[in-house]
Amino acid sequence: MKIVSLLIGIIMFFPKLQLAQEPAFVKGADVGWLPQMEATGYRFYDTDGQEKDCLQLLKDRGINTIRLRVFVNPSDDPASGHCGKEETVAMALRAQRMGMRLMIDFHYSDSWADPAKQFKPAAWVNHNFTALLNDLYAHTFDVLNALKKAGVSPEWVQIGNEIPGGMLWPDGSTANWKQLGQLLNKGYEATKAVNPKIKVIVHVDEGNNNAKFREFFDNATAQKVKYDVIGLSYYPFWIKKDYTETIADLQFNLIDMAQRYKKEVMVVEVGGEDDKVQNTYELLTATIQAVRNVPDQKGLGVIYWEPQGARSWSRYNLSAWQADGKPSPALDAFKN
Active site residue 269: yes
Q: What is the DSSP string of 54-72?
A: HHHHHHHTT--EEEEEE-S
Nearest residue to 318 via CA among 248, 238, 245: 238
Distance CA 157, CA 186 (A): 13
Residues β-bridged to residue 203: 231
Residues β-bridged to residue 250: none
Annotated catalytic residue within 206, 269, 282, 306: 269
Distance CA 307, CA 82 (A): 18
Active site residue 264: no
Helical H segments across the chain, by residue range: 2-21, 34-39, 54-60, 85-97, 129-149, 177-194, 210-222, 243-261, 277-292, 311-314
Residues in the chain: 336
Annotated catalytic residue within 162, 264, 282, 306: 162
Distance CA 185, CA 107 (A): 15
Distance CA 227, CA 189 (A): 10
Instruction: Please provide residue 83's backbone torsions phi and psi, each rounded to the nearest 5 degrees.
Output: 60, 35
End-to-end Cα distance, the chain: 40
Catalytic residues: 162, 269
